[in-house]
Amino acid sequence: MASTVLTGIKPTGTPHLGNFVGAIKPALALAGTASNALYFVADYHALNVIHDAQKLRALVHEVAATWLALGLDPEKVIFYRQSDVPEIFELTWILSCFTAKGLMNRAHAYKAAVARNMESRAGASGAANVEDMDDLDAGINMGLYSYPVLMAADILLFKTNVVPVGKDQVQHIEIARDIAQRFNAIYGPTLVLPAARISADTAVIPGLDGRKMSKSYDNTIQLFVPPEKLRKTIFKYKTDSSPPSEPKDPDASPLFHLYREFATPEETEALRGRYRSGIGWGEAKEAVFEVLNRALEEPRRRYAELMADPAGVDALLAEGAVRARQIASATLQETRRAVGAR
Determine contact, residues 308/65, Cβ cutoff 8 Å.
no
pLDDT (tens digit per residue) in 196-250: 988 766 667 889 998 888 888 889 999 999 999 999 999 999 999 999 999 999 9
Q: What is the phi/psi pair of residue 223, to 5°?
A: -70, -40
Cβ-contact 37, 5 below 8 angstroms: yes
Distance of CA 122 to the CA centre of its chain: 33
Buried b (16+ CB within 10 A) or exposed e, 158-186: bbbbbbbbeeebebbbebbbbbbebbbee
Give me the tens of pLDDT residue by residue for the chain, a chain 342 residues long: 559 999 999 998 888 998 898 888 888 888 777 789 999 999 999 999 999 999 999 999 999 999 999 999 999 999 999 999 999 999 999 999 999 999 999 999 999 999 988 888 776 655 545 554 458 889 899 999 999 999 999 999 999 999 988 777 899 999 999 999 999 999 999 999 999 988 766 667 889 998 888 888 889 999 999 999 999 999 999 999 999 999 999 999 999 999 999 999 999 999 999 999 999 999 999 999 999 999 999 999 999 999 999 999 999 999 999 999 999 999 999 999 999 998
Residue closest to 307 by CA, chosen among 65, 35, 81, 37: 65
153 vs 150: CA distance, rounded Å: 5
